[in-house]
Structure 1
Amino acid sequence: MPELVVLTEQLLAPVPGGTGRYTRELAAALAAGAPVGWTVTGVTARHPDPRPAVVSGVAGPRSLPLSRRALTLAWEHGVPLWPGGDVVHAPTPLAPAAARRGRGLVVTVHDTVPFTHPETLTKRGAAWHQTMIKRAVARADAIVVPTAAVAAELTRYAPGPARVHVVGHGVPAVLRTPPDPAVVADVVAKYRLPEAYVLAVGTVEPRKGLDVLIAAMATSVGPDLPLVVAGPPGWGAVDLRGLADQHGLPQSSLHTLGRVSDAELAVVLHRATVLAAPSRAEGFGLPVLEAMAAGVPVVHSDAPALVEVAGGTGLVTRRDDPVGLARALRSVAESPDRVALMVSRGRARADIFTWERAAESLWRLHLQVHATVRGG
């Protein structure tokens, strides 16, 4: 019985982030849509507790004999450790150096940030990603990217023989559907959510542009609303409270929630007045898509991937322009007619993106790779 192995190690990372959501949702969708006769198994490094990497419908997780650090170093230096399976899908650049004979390797490259904005990563992180992405493009059987914008940038910064396939993300059902009133009441009380607010969602790190958003919210031309930030702290020691003091935004106007569950995010998202996505660089921008699906208007930066995903349904502002961002947020917050049109168009656009559709595209790719490597 042929086996598709999905490397689910990202689910055990200290901060899984957007790639963690991608890994979980995609693995579950691949398992649900598996062709007759195929199994889908998750594989991770060795961990004391692998339960966070359990995915509905996916066998395992099966553990490799190395710790996360050792596995990262082993694959970085080309140690030929194969995780099993007839085809392996690596949802991040953490992947074997090359496939075994008669086996297939597919790698997802989420963005080209390590090449275009290396200053927004640690030096080690930028160098590691550059190395692993270049090798994947050179040796994998196929590369998957989330947007045409990333595909174009990849050919510039990491050209190679592997064919690049654009496969978008999806939105979990829990975020599309209005949450139960009882859950809403619990979440509102837990986080003391204001009645109306500007929302930002994502790991708190330099490339997300949250410093620009706080500066925008502190200007006199910004919306008269508090700012809610949902997401765990990442690298870079971005101090949101310190930034608020620096720009003159009252502490009472800043609500930091930290990491939230999907059920909690559904409440936070559906109650938002507008979602702000001022990122300096993105490969896709899941919060933008999720807001559109939830019926929340979006103001986003002119990062190419965000422009592509929103498809003209959001309001675009220049990166690193707090005054422009402030004016855009205010125009949305104070224009009900504009909001109604943005919501209608945003929902229609979001309907195009589903995890089921992504899984269908990837199964076609995996089956093609399997047939090719077996000489079929």
Structure 2
Amino acid sequence: MPTTLRVIVDQLIAPVPGAIGRYGQALTRALIETAPAGCAVEGIVSSSLPADYDRVLAALPGLAGLYKSSLARRELAAAWQFGVTTSPGGGMIHAPSLFAPLRRHDRTVPGEQVVVTVHDVLAWTHPGSLTTTSVAWQKAMLKRARRHADAVVVPTHALAERLASIVDLGDRVRVIGTAPRPGLVVPADGDAIALELGLPAEYLVVEGSLEPRKGVVDLLQALGRPGVPEIPLVVVGPESYGEQHLAAVAEEAGVAAARVHAVVPAGAEQLAVVLAGATAFVAPSHDEGDGTELIEAFSLGVPVIHSDAPAYIEVAADAGLAVPVGGGRGYGERLAAAVTAVIEQRHLAERLSVSGGDRANAFDWRDSAELVWQLHADL
């Protein structure tokens, strides 16, 4: 009988898989590829349509099996929140989020273990960025993790420190980093994709929404300052946040609406085209749990300007140009200076491109998967 690691892959069939879905798929693929001799990987999903199961199996070639819960996703989330079900049984379970069957189990029995992953602590630090239901669920699941998880994975040491200020997990926290999403490569028809997306000849690119924490508004205010080169901005994200609209916010900041373009890439290749064609990638977020977006920009040789959010500082390791957020006014001015320097100083942009490319080599899904296998072996 092979030793089986069962990974919760339900996010792959969620209406919007999002970042956790991408993370789960990439990590699970790498776990399959790096499985030690005599080990196998199975998936766990909620009750869904046969087409959803087929999609999971197609996305994860080599998966040894798929456990299908009798409960649909919403019901399963509620059941696991209150610990009222024992499905999907015991064994080694790895969850790429807090969505996991956290319950009392005998830790003296070899192979009986549950490991969960925490990607951020927004439910505590920025609850307004989430729905009240999501905040309540995340807080409840972290309480269950404190009682029942054998280990908790986080992507950065910075997040581990934030998490420690919220809940005492003792020595159960493990830092295992992320990597660029699979397929993040500019295809042969990259020029055609750029034309289809309406990308300008030169531009800055930023990922996120107008939510204050993401810093996109700060960047727009920076670009609207006198003396800053009038370069277009491509926003990878939605055009609206609540009642705010990107074009209106840009004009209020002194940036002509025509200079701002919102795009939603259809996949990794389209995102690669957007990133690779940029003069610089800007990550102005005030607070993040990981730095995956920086890693992806680094991997394509794009000069990176980023805030001094602790996770960004850790991931970049001086490969990007850090801009202090600060506690008061002045962030927009500092962003403006950084953007101007990268645009006008070719040697600086070239140095950032090279250092970022080198830094990207430190992040690989196979390495992350091997650390996960080692974690479960240690448990």
TM (norm. structure 1) is 0.90
Choose which of 133, 155, 178 in structure 1 pairs with 2:164: 155
Residue of structure 2 equivalent to 1:189: 195
Between 45-54 and 188-197, report the one with greater CA deviation: 45-54
Query: Partner letter of residue 55 of structure 1?
Result: L
- Seen in structure 2, the aligned counterparts of structure 1 residues 87 and 190 have a Cα distance that, compared at 3 Å, is same
Retained in 1: the 8 A contact 2:208–2:216?
no
- Offset of 1:334 from its aligned partner? 1.3
The whole-number CA distance in structure 2 between the counterparts of 1:9 and 1:236 is 28
Choose which of 249, 260, 284 in structure 2 pairs with 1:278: 284
Query: Partner letter of residue 166 of structure 2?
Result: Y
- Offset of 1:138 from its aligned partner? 2.8
Retained in 2: the 8 A contact 1:205–1:237?
no
- Offset of 1:192 from its aligned partner? 1.3
Retained in 2: the 8 A contact 1:26–1:355?
yes
Residue of structure 2 equivalent to 1:19: 20
Matched position secondary structure for 1:333: helix
Retained in 2: the 8 A contact 1:205–1:233?
no
The whole-number CA distance in structure 2 between the counterparts of 1:31 and 1:273 is 37
Residue of structure 1 equivalent to 2:298: 292
Retained in 2: the 8 A contact 1:80–1:97?
no
The whole-number CA distance in structure 1 between the counterparts of 2:65 and 2:344 is 50
2:147 maps to 1:146 = no
Stretches of structure 1 that go unaligned for 5 or more consecutive residues are 370-376
- Seen in structure 2, the aligned counterparts of structure 1 residues 77 and 33 have a Cα distance that, compared at 3 Å, is same
Residue of structure 2 equivalent to 1:354: 364
Residue of structure 2 equivalent to 1:136: 145
How many residue pairs align between the two structures? 366
Retained in 2: the 8 A contact 1:230–1:260?
no
Partner deviation per Cα, 1:231-255 (whole Å, 9 max, x = no partner): 3579756632332233232221111
Stretches of structure 2 that go unaligned for 5 or more consecutive residues are none
Q: How does 1:1-376 map to 2 (within 5 A)?
A: 1-48=2-49, 49-50=51-52, 51-53=54-56, 54-84=59-89, 86-98=91-103, 100-101=105-106, 102=109, 103-161=112-170, 163-172=172-181, 174-175=183-184, 177=185, 179-180=186-187, 182-202=188-208, 205-231=211-237, 239-319=245-325, 321-369=331-379
- Seen in structure 2, the aligned counterparts of structure 1 residues 129 and 85 have a Cα distance that, compared at 3 Å, is same
- Offset of 1:167 from its aligned partner? 0.7
The whole-number CA distance in structure 2 between the counterparts of 1:364 and 1:160 is 19
Retained in 1: the 8 A contact 2:239–2:245?
no
Query: Partner letter of residue 360 of structure 1?
Result: E
- Offset of 1:333 from its aligned partner? 1.4
The whole-number CA distance in structure 1 between the counterparts of 2:137 and 2:264 is 27
Partner deviation per Cα, 1:265-307 (whole Å, 9 max, x = no partner): 1111111111111112111121111111111111111111011
Query: Partner letter of residue 269 of structure 1?
Result: L
The whole-number CA distance in structure 1 between the counterparts of 2:69 and 2:241 is 27
Partner deviation per Cα, 1:71-110 (whole Å, 9 max, x = no partner): 1111111123332462111101111122644421011111
Retained in 1: the 8 A contact 2:80–2:101?
yes
Between 201-210 and 110-119, report the one with greater CA deviation: 201-210
- Seen in structure 2, the aligned counterparts of structure 1 residues 297 and 80 have a Cα distance that, compared at 3 Å, is same
Matched position secondary structure for 1:88: strand
TM (norm. structure 2) is 0.89
The whole-number CA distance in structure 2 between the counterparts of 1:202 and 1:141 is 33
Query: Partner letter of residue 76 of structure 2?
Result: L
The whole-number CA distance in structure 2 between the counterparts of 1:61 and 1:222 is 54
Matched position secondary structure for 1:228: strand
Query: Partner letter of residue 282 of structure 1?
Result: E
Query: Partner letter of residue 286 of structure 2?
Result: R
- Offset of 1:349 from its aligned partner? 1.4
- Seen in structure 2, the aligned counterparts of structure 1 residues 302 and 236 have a Cα distance that, compared at 3 Å, is farther
- Offset of 1:318 from its aligned partner? 2.9
Fraction of identical pairs, as percent? 38
Q: CA RMSD in A?
A: 2.3
Matched position secondary structure for 1:255: strand
Matched position secondary structure for 1:332: helix
The whole-number CA distance in structure 2 between the counterparts of 1:107 and 1:69 is 19
Retained in 1: the 8 A contact 2:69–2:87?
no
Between 355-364 and 201-210, report the one with greater CA deviation: 201-210
- Seen in structure 2, the aligned counterparts of structure 1 residues 344 and 244 have a Cα distance that, compared at 3 Å, is same
Matched position secondary structure for 1:58: coil
Query: Partner letter of residue 195 of structure 1?
Result: A
Partner deviation per Cα, 1:19-68 (whole Å, 9 max, x = no partner): 22211110100010011122212222223341553323334544211121
